[in-house]
Amino acid sequence: MPAVSIIIPCYNYGHFLGEALDSVLNQTFQDWEAIIVDDGSTDNSKEVAVAYENKDSRFRYIFQSNSGTSAAKNNGLKNASGRFIQFLDADDYLFPRKLAVQVESLNQTGAALSVCDYHKSGPDDLLTPIQENFHRIRLGENKKLDLLFNWERNLSIPIHCFLFDRAQIPAELFLFSPELKNHEDIHLWLRIFWRSPEICYTQEVLAVYRKTPGGLTKNIREMRAGYVKALSLFSAEVTLSEPEKEILQRKINLILFWLPSNSELVARLVRPLKKVFGKNILNDLFYLQKWAREINFRVP
């Protein structure tokens, strides 16, 4: 049984997949398996994946009909046999020491998850960092509220910066919601972090997040709608204190503030939230603008 299972969902990223798989092959920590889950790609993803499977038996290729990234990750988790779980999107990259450093950290500290630093790159040069929208990776003292409110404000951790010890995370919790087409990661992080797991950090840059033109993250309207849906699902799954509800409502308001206020999209998103927060989920826009501009939120 391998120590680490690397789960690599892929949808029409055959042109990047080889670099991601090379970064797995180049790991100094060699006790791993890599599960490539092809989410119904129509490009050359299968050919690339099968070539690596034939090259090294630690690679496994799984094809599924197009079901979305959450289903692909869950399929990978179902087929994983390692204690430690590493996710890697097909267009991203791991530096050679990534697994070695974080496996050692988890073994030494007994933490449930490890977080490393990363840099962003352009689409063609992975090793040259681009300076864009710097985000921290270290959570504040109140980890839950910091994650809840400051995610994508000044806090953002790509999924491949984590290494999870799934022996410490209940199997029923460690699943991505198939209802979410994006922001499935933060939905899962909130559910995990609400249980207050121990976290260890390394400031070493061990991962690369590739910025690609035309990617899902460029569809701002769709991404923000997905974020609100993720928070709505989370609010229905846990018991929140009144201060936590207030912070969650403010976060949702700030996201909705950037969507057209008269759109049917907003109406559909707000309906389930009103059941949790009441009819005043949408505060006065001037208040929101003023609050967002003047208050630099600090978690306790």
- What is the arithmetic mean of pLDDT over 219-234? 90
| 53 and 176 housed in the same domain | yes
Residue where one domain finishes, among candidates 200, 217, 234: 217
127 and 121 Cβ atoms separated by less than 8 Å: yes
Residue where one domain finishes, among candidates 191, 217, 243: 217
CB-count exposure of residue 133 (10 Å: 0-12, 13-18, 19+): exposed
| 205 and 269 housed in the same domain | no
What whole-number percentage of the chain has pLDDT above 90?
70
Residue 299 lies in a domain: no
Count of domains observed in the chain: 2
Give Cα separations from 189 to 152, 185, 197, 218 (angstroms): 13, 6, 11, 22
Q: Convert the pLDDT of each residue in 64-116 to its tens digit.
A: 999 999 999 999 999 999 999 999 999 999 999 999 999 999 999 999 999 99
| 14 and 120 housed in the same domain | yes
Q: What is the rounded end-to-end Cα distance, in angstroms, of the chain?
A: 43
The pLDDT of residue 256: 80
Give Cα separations from 115 to 22, 59, 131, 295 (angstroms): 22, 24, 20, 28
- Enclosing domain of residue 197: 4-217
Q: Convert the pLDDT of each residue in 255-284 to its tens digit.
A: 887 654 444 555 565 566 556 555 444 443
Q: Rounded to whole angstroms, how far apart are CA atoms 271 and 278?
A: 10
The pLDDT of residue 294: 38
Q: Convert the pLDDT of each residue in 133-186 to its tens digit.
A: 567 899 998 999 999 999 988 899 999 999 999 999 999 999 999 999 999 999
Residue 300 lies in a domain: no
| Paired tokens of 87 | 């996710």
| 173 and 244 housed in the same domain | no
Give Cα separations from 47 to 20, 73, 110, 212, 279 (angstroms): 15, 20, 39, 22, 52
Residue where one domain finishes, among candidates 174, 191, 217: 217
The pLDDT of residue 135: 77
| 31 and 152 housed in the same domain | yes
| 14 and 45 housed in the same domain | yes
| 213 and 251 housed in the same domain | no
Residue 257 lies in a domain: yes
Could you please report the per-residue DSSP string of 151-216? BTTTB---GGGEEEEGGGS-TTTS---TT-SS-HHHHHHHHHHTT---EEEEEEEEEEEE--TT-G
Residue 146 lies in a domain: yes
| 199 and 228 housed in the same domain | no
